[in-house]
A and B are shown apart, each in its own frame.
Chain A
Amino acid sequence: MTAKKLFLFWILLLCQLVCAQQDSIVRLKEVTVSDFQLKNFSRTQSVAVLNDSIIEKNATSLTTLLNYNSAIYFKENGLGMVSSPSFRGTTAQQTAVIWNGININSQLNGQTDFNTITSWDFDEITVRAGGGSVVYGSSAIGGSVHLNNILGFKSTVENTLQLGYGSYNTFGGHYKILAANEKTSVNASISRNSSENDYRYPGMAKYNENGQYYNTSVNANFGYKISDSHYLKLYSQLFEGERHFSGTLAAKSKSKYQDLNTRNLLEWDAFFNKWTSRLKVAFVGEQYKYFENAKTTLFETSKAETFISKYDLNYTINKKLSVNAIVDYTKTKGTGIQIGQNTREIGSVALLAKHQVLKQFGYEASVRKELTDNYKSPLLFALGTHLDLTKNYSLLLNGSRNFRIPTFNDLYWDNLGNPDLKPENSYQAEIGQQLKFKNVFISATAYYNDIRDMIQWTPNTTNGNFTPGNVAKVKSYGAELVLNWQAKLDNHIFDFRSGYSYTISKDEETDRQLIYVPQHKANASVAYSYKRWAINGQFLFNGFVYTPSQKYNTVEEYLVSNVGTNYTFGNKITYKLGFRVLNIFNEDYQSVLQRPMPGTNYAINLIFKF
């Protein structure tokens, strides 16, 4: 009897312990990444996570990483130059880039240049396809790219030094320290990239002149556990870079461009029983300097400073149902010779609910409304469900309304900007199917996106001056396929990842495919490793694209292939030495009209972990 009682008591205690432990594990999981909704509110969309092992296998720029590992198409003005995405057939301003939960697309031109982001700076890069404006705001129409730094509270000290050297005097260096105990967490890194970038144009006696670049980024992220239920986190990034802008086959260039981006985020997470509260304050600064003639000191510059405060409250009603409210206030000040000095204030309220009705069926619903004097803000919403029909097969459905707000350039440019612009507006729906087995993942997604009030600069009919207006309508639809396969046999490890996307994106008036949107894009990577030795191959295919030129109105399709091998030395301290041959078949290709990309080139890489 007493034994039984004791046993019961013990069971009870154990249960509490286990529960408590689970609570704090969940809590820790929720603390490590700032972008809470990415992990907890993206179940009904297609989300692909690129972890650090994939990131370190690729070249340093975010363009290269995503070119070979996602469905996003990139238009790159020559290697390392301005790079703009097209996600699901949308424009460069319709892909949102989210840094630790904060939207960092330029306030000046509305887009992110993917060659101004060093992918090695992040522990995890996630591609979330489809609309996300309710949570992430402007530009999340085609999809969003999430750059996350992870702050763990498990005792560790880990140093990584990564050094690379390649053709055209290309240097990449990266040092990262992870240091944590139960109380504090440090994740800090510094990266430096530079290149002469003077590659020979395949099949020509011409070189890529004036294409040299360098950039430096510093990341400092800290976490502090005040108590079991209170955490303080600080994320900080500085990116500084200079690129000479190379010319075209028709016109040499003498210009250069400097970027200075700063991002700071302070976050306080508090957990009270069923409530989770996150208070965030962020400051994002961007500035560019454009030197028409790199040899002179004369430049043109604009800058924008954005202050964001955000309160995010999540209430878990029960195991199945949780609701989340986000209140946000953003103030942006833009300054430049062409845009004058203007300030924009935006307040927003978002409500999200997640309901796991059955084990196999759940839905997510959300709405957002903004308050601002700058534009008429539409009511945004998203509704999605997942249906796990079998253990391996899931069906995902999602529909949403998203937007892209006018930029400072659109609104205020030199007496030509249009202060009456409306946001671009998108209604979209998608259906996804996922098959998951132990070693195989297959997904197929089809989507439809109706985008209206697209902002374009066109000559007006009275005096021919170019002014922006909500003039275009675009319908995009298509399909994305992903097939991944892993296998392990003793010491042999195989890894295969592939993706294919079919994209139709037509201007309603002209009934023509948008420029720089390929109908077909495919990529694949294969890797095989045996003990300490590994080889891998990467393939990228982009179908032909239309260009804005009438005379040279297409850029041809291309297939670029890279191969690499590496060997790992050491045990506690490891050295991984790698060698890569890029564009091994010397494909003569252009991403953008009259801007040839490099032929076969080489890189060596050393990753030192201690």
Chain B
Amino acid sequence: MKFSKLFLSALVASLLFVSCSEDDNQPNRYIPLGTYDSGVLVLNQGGFGHGDASVSYISFGFTTFENDIFSLVNPDVILGDTAQDVGFNGASAYIILNGSNKIEIVNRYTLKSTGTIDEGLSNPRYMAVYNGKGYVTNWGDATNPNDDYVAIIDLATNTITGNIAVVEGPERIIENEGKLYVAQTGGYGYGNQISVISTANNAVTTITVGDVPNSIQIKDGFLWVGCAGRPIYSGVETAGKLVKVNIATNTVATTFAYTEVTKHISNLVLEGSSAYYTVDSGIFKFDLTENSLPATPKFTTTAQGVYGVYSFAIKRGHIYVGDAGDYEHDGHVYIYSLGTEVEQKPLGTLENSFTVGVIPAGFYFNF
């Protein structure tokens, strides 16, 4: 009796002491906002028509890795078919499901499902967020080149309040100072423009860049556009280009082009004073002050058996590569050193790899 009382008070005291000490001694310690904070969400597209899109999680220290976290948290919800992109608004993540024509809304840190938008989307692709509104690019019907649009979502009610018509195949979309920049890859055809939308009045102007602009970035008053060029099966293959656009005047400042038509640029990312992009299995680095594109890659992913880099991101000194493999079986994520951090191995050194879901389509960072 006496002993148990003593034991109990000791226990209570120790608990108090522990919690107090944490508060007192580490006031700035970061408290995770959920299981999936402080890491990267890997969006896996899934097989087209298989309805098996999924999300994987890799912590920043690469110590925690988990596949299929959406189903784990929400066992009764099917995420959907052909996941395409994730848009963030505060604590909410908007997962765009191209094949399902819907958006699943989750808490970005816990992955808990909070809602669905399944009206008003038609072949949705990518999303940008600005001023309480979501802007989602939509291809419309493949057979109709004239029904493409950017849907406007009121993020307070999660309903679509209007559409902005654009030319065929609006793909990636980014926001800068109240303006939206939309890469017009052409959808089922081949586009060569950037649509610029003023969010104040939804007016659209276009800038002609190179064929199939698939990736866009803004830095220091310039829009950088990675253009793939037309693929071989288009009939007339064209070479990839990097196009630098002055966003004050919406005019092309400089075009950096390859001469070989088989060189198709993808995955342009600006990091520091460099641009990184991929051509097939090669990762290229281009100093923004250089005059011509490098002929050879800094490193390649061929040792990992990657045919072509499907998805690509750079964060905190690491390069993330998504490998779709044969598009049927589980894909892989390879993480390479960027070579910029203290005591880091040189650029292109493989640091980690993970087997994720089918077709890893994008990386989204929670921090």
Residues of A in contact with B (beta carbons under 8 Å apart) = 248-252, 291-293, 296, 298-300, 414-416, 458-466, 547-552, 593-594
Note all chain A residues with C-beta closer than 8 A to B71: 551
Bound complex: CA of A204 vs CA of B343, how far in Å?
57
Q: Is B204 an interface residue (CB 8 A)?
A: no
The complex places the Cα of A296 from the Cα of B82 at a distance, in Å, of: 24
Q: How far is the CA of A309 from the CA of B326 in the complex (A)?
A: 42
User: Which of B141, B308, B328 sits near A296, CB closer than 8 Å?
Assistant: B141
- Not counting A296-B143, A463-B231, A549-B50, a sample of 10 additional A-B residue pairs whose C-beta atoms are within 8 angstroms of each other reads A251-B82, A293-B141, A296-B144, A298-B141, A298-B143, A415-B233, A459-B326, A459-B327, A550-B47, A550-B328
- CB-contact partner of B51 in A293, A299, A594, under 8 A: A594
Partner of B357, one of A291, A460, A551, A593: A551
Q: How far is the CB of A115 from chain B (nearest CB, A)?
A: 18
Chain A residue nearest in CB terms to B145: A298
Known: A459-B307, A550-B358. A251 touches B81 (CB 8 A): yes
Across the interface, do B308 and A249 meet the contact criterion of CB distance under 8 Å? Answer: no
Contacts A414-B233, A415-B235, A548-B328 hold; do A251 and B307 have CB atoms under 8 A apart? no
**CB-nearest residue of chain A relative to B309?**
A464
Which A residues touch B280, using CB under 8 A? 462-464
Interface members, chain B 302-357 (any A CB < 8 Å): 307-308, 310, 324, 326-330, 357
CB-based closest 3 A-B pairs? A250-B51, A551-B52, A549-B50
Task: Tell me the nearest residue of chain A to B100, going by C-beta.
Answer: A251
In the complex, A251→B50 CA distance in Å?
9
Q: Is the CB of A465 within 8 A of B68?
A: no
CA A540 – CA B101 in complex, angstroms?
Answer: 35
Kindly provide the distance from the CB of B50 to the nearest chain A CB, expressed in whole angstroms: 4
**CB <8 Å contact, B81 and A250:** yes
Shortest C-beta distance, B336 to chain A (Å), equals 19
* CB < 8 Å neighbour of B50 from A298, A415, A462, A548: A548
A299→B144 CA distance, assembly (Å): 9
B32 within 8 A of A: no
Q: Quick check: is B46 within 8 A (CB to CB) of the other chain?
A: yes
B residues in contact with A299, CB < 8 Å: 143
With contacts A415-B233, A463-B308, A465-B232 taken as known, whether A551 is within 8 angstroms of B68 at the C-beta atoms is: yes
Partner of B142, one of A292, A462, A464, A552: A292
Report yes or no: B326 in contact with A458, Cβ–Cβ below 8 A. Answer: yes
What chain A residues lie within 8 Å of B324 (beta carbons)? 459, 464
Cβ-based interface call for B49 (8 A): yes
Cβ contact within 8 Å between A464 and B308: yes
Q: Choose among A249, A298, A463 the residue that contacts B232 (Cβ–Cβ < 8 A).
A: A463
If over half of B's interface residues share one DSSP class (helix, strand or loop), that class is named, otherwise mixed; here it is loop
Residue of A nearest to B67 (CB): A551
Judged by a CB distance under 8 angstroms, whether B226 is at the interface is: no
Judging by beta carbons under 8 Å apart, are A252 and B233 in contact? no
* Contact (Cβ within 8 A) A593 B50: yes
A551 near B307: Cβ-Cβ < 8 Å: no
Chain B residue nearest to A594 (CB atoms) is B51
**In the complex the two chains form, is B99's CB within 8 Å of A251's CB?**
yes
Asked whether A550 and B330 contact (CB < 8 A) given A251-B80, A293-B143, A299-B143, the answer is: yes
Q: Contacts of B308 on A, CB cut-off 8 Å?
A: 463-464
Q: How far is the CA of A552 from the CA of B80 in the complex (A)?
A: 12
- Nearest-neighbour CB distance to chain B for A547, whole angstroms, equals 7
Pairwise interchain contact A250-B80, C-beta atoms closer than 8 A = yes
Q: Are B101 and A251 in contact (CB under 8 A)?
A: yes
Closest Cβ–Cβ distance, residue A290 to chain B (whole Å): 9
CB-defined contacts of A593 to chain B, threshold 8 Å = 50-51
A-B contact pairs, 5 of them (CB 8 A): A249-B78, A459-B307, A462-B280, A463-B280, A551-B54
Among A464, A548, A551, A552, the one with the most B-chain Cβ atoms within 10 Å of its Cβ is A551
A492 CA to B100 CA in the complex, in Å?
55
Name the residue of chain B whose CB is nearest to the CB of A248.
Answer: B51
Q: Which of B214-238 contact A (CB under 8 A)?
A: 231-235
Chain B residue contacts of A463, Cβ below 8 A = 231-232, 262, 264, 280, 307-308
Known: A251-B51, A551-B46. A465 touches B141 (CB 8 A): no
With A251-B100, A551-B54 in contact, is A300–B49 under 8 Å at CB? no
Contacts of A293 in B (CB 8 A): 141, 143-144
Q: Give the CA-CA distance A549 to B357 in the complex, in Å.
A: 10
Would you give the shortest CB distance from A84 to chain B, in whole angstroms? 14
Q: Which of A296, A459, A464, A549 contacts B46 (CB 8 A)?
A: A549
B330 contacts across to A, CB distance below 8 A: 550
* Chain B residue at minimum C-beta to C-beta distance from A551: B52
Residue of A nearest to B51 (CB): A250
A contact residues around B142 at 8 Å (CB)? 292
Report yes or no: B144 in contact with A298, Cβ–Cβ below 8 A. Answer: yes
Of B51, B82, B232, which one neighbours A415 at CB under 8 angstroms? B232
A593 CA to B51 CA in the complex, in Å? 9
Q: How far is the CB of A170 from chain B (nearest CB, A)?
A: 26
Cα of A423 to Cα of B306 in the assembled complex, Å: 30
Cα distance A549–B68 when bound, in Å? 14
CA distance A547 to B52 in the complex (A): 11
Complex contact A250–B327 (CB within 8 A): no
B233 touches A552 (CB 8 A): no
B99 with A250: CB separation less than 8 A: yes
Cα A409 to Cα B78 with chains together (Å): 33
Report A545 CB to chain B, min CB distance, Å: 14
Instruction: Report Cα–Cα, A459/B310, bound state, in Å.
Output: 12
Q: How far is the CB of B282 from chain A (nearest CB, A)?
A: 12
Task: State the CA gap A292–B147 with chains docked (Å).
Answer: 13
Residue contact A552 to B101, C-beta cutoff 8 Å: no
Task: Choose among B51, B71, B78 the residue with the greatest number of A CB atoms under 10 Å from its CB.
Answer: B51
Chain B residue at minimal CB-CB distance from A414: B233
Instruction: Give the residue name and chain of the A residue nearest to B79 (CB).
Output: A250
Q: Name the distance in Å between A515's Cβ and chain B's nearest Cβ.
A: 10
Q: How far is the CB of B56 from chain A (nearest CB, A)?
A: 11
Q: Specify which chain A residues have a CB less than 8 angstroms from the CB of B79 in the assembled complex.
A: 250
Min CB–CB distance B73 → chain A (angstroms): 15
Q: Which residue on B lies nearest to A549, using beta carbons?
A: B50
Tell me the nearest residue of chain A to B233, going by C-beta: A415
Task: Give, as a whole number of angstroms, the nearest-CB distance from A127 to chain B.
Answer: 30
